[in-house]
């Protein structure tokens, strides 16, 4: 895997043979600092080969050239995710796809990409459902997105995913967390209640108080 023609890429290639803390921390800007144009293109081509299945490739391409990467992500998200019989692979591919959508939406919060992201609200993986709620932009949110968030408030079994769904639903309606905001806290607690009527009442109050 190591390149003999591009000494500036030694650390970059070594990352993919590493393990432990460095691998967990992931690629960062330092892996691409000081590269020549040809070395940068070599790194880009290496990462692009695994873009469909690798979070590191998605992060790396975005670090190299955000605008160019977003255009590649747009091509990827228009295609079906490759199927796999392995649970870990399915989860990783969905996580990668939601990251691409997040990065696209950070540049272009277009409704079309929000609708693609909506599909991940019903993922079999709690982490992916959490990413859906976390990555959903406050702007350009459709009624479909709001309905999905409300569905998660009632049915989500993972506490992190439910918490993110509640926070995002409230943010879309103009409620942003403030440490001393007791009204926010009361509504949030009601939305985490096991009493469905209490949840419905809190949602109704939020929708009556704040328009999108």
The residue among 55, 88, 121 that closes a domain is 88
In this structure, are 72 and 117 located in the same domain?
no
In this structure, are 115 and 82 located in the same domain?
no
Q: Is the pLDDT of residue 22 over 90?
A: no
How far apart are alpha carbons 32 and 8 in whole angstroms? 9
Give pLDDT tens digits for 25-44: 889 999 999 999 999 999 99
Q: What's the rounded mean pLDDT across residues 134-138?
A: 96
Q: 103 in a domain, yes or no?
A: no
How does residue 1 score in pLDDT terms, banded at 50, 70 and 90? very low
Helix axis angle, 87-107 to 66-77, nearest 10°:
130
Q: 76 in a domain, yes or no?
A: yes
Q: Is the pLDDT of residue 4 over 50?
A: no
In this structure, are 71 and 116 located in the same domain?
no
Q: 115 in a domain, yes or no?
A: yes
Q: 104 in a domain, yes or no?
A: no
102: DSSP letter: H
Give SS3 for 55: helix
Q: What's the rounded mean pLDDT across residues 139-144?
A: 87
In this structure, are 34 and 133 located in the same domain?
no
**Per mean pLDDT, which of 136-145, 173-182, 199-208 is the most reliable?**
199-208
- Pick 176 or 91 by higher pLDDT: 91
Question: What is the CB neighbour count within 10 angstroms for residue 95?
Answer: 18
Look at the chain and report how many structural domains it folds into. 2
Q: 93 in a domain, yes or no?
A: no
How far apart are alpha carbons 33 and 12 in whole angstroms? 10
Q: 8 in a domain, yes or no?
A: yes
Q: Which residue has the tokens 């190299």?
A: 64
Q: Do 139 and 158 form a contact (C-beta atoms < 8 A)? A: no
pLDDT at 55: 93
In this structure, are 113 and 211 located in the same domain?
yes
In this structure, are 63 and 152 located in the same domain?
no
How does residue 194 score in pLDDT terms, banded at 50, 70 and 90? very high
Q: Do 28 and 63 form a contact (C-beta atoms < 8 A)? A: yes
53: DSSP letter: T
In this structure, are 121 and 211 located in the same domain?
yes
Q: 133 in a domain, yes or no?
A: yes
The residue among 88, 118, 136 that closes a domain is 88
How far apart are alpha carbons 173 and 156 in whole angstroms? 20
Q: Is the pLDDT of residue 18 over 90?
A: no
CA angle 85, 119, 72 (to 5 degrees): 80
How far apart are alpha carbons 205 and 184 in whole angstroms? 12
Tell me which residue range forms the domain holding 134: 109-212
In this structure, are 31 and 79 located in the same domain?
yes
In this structure, are 68 and 118 located in the same domain?
no
Q: Is the pTM of this model over 0.85?
A: yes
Q: What's the rounded mean pLDDT across residues 106-120?
A: 95
């Amino acid at each position: 895997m190591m390149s003999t023609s591009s000494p500036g890429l030694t650390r970059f290639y070594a990352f993919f043979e590493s393990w432990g803390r460095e691998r967990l921390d992931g690629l960062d800007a330092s892996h691409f600092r000081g590269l020549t144009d040809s070395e940068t293109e070599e790194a880009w081509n290496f990462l692009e080969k695994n873009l469909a299945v690798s979070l590191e490739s998605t992060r790396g391409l975005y670090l190299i050239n955000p605008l160019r990467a977003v255009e590649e992500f747009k091509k990827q998200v228009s295609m079906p995710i490759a199927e796999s019989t392995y649970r870990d692979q399915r989860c990783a591919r969905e996580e990668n796809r939601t990251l691409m959508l997040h990065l696209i939406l950070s540049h272009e919060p277009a409704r079309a990409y929000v609708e693609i992201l909506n599909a991940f609200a019903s993922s079999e993986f709690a982490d992916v459902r959490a990413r859906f709620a976390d990555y959903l932009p406050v702007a350009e949110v459709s009624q479909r997105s709001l309905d999905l968030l409300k569905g998660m408030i009632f049915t989500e079994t993972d506490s992190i995913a439910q918490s993110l769904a509640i926070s995002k639903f409230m943010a879309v309606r103009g409620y942003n967390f403030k440490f001393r905001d007791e009204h926010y806290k009361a509504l949030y607690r009601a939305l985490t209640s096991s009493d469905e009527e209490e949840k419905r009442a809190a949602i109704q109050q939020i929708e009556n108080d704040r328009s999108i």
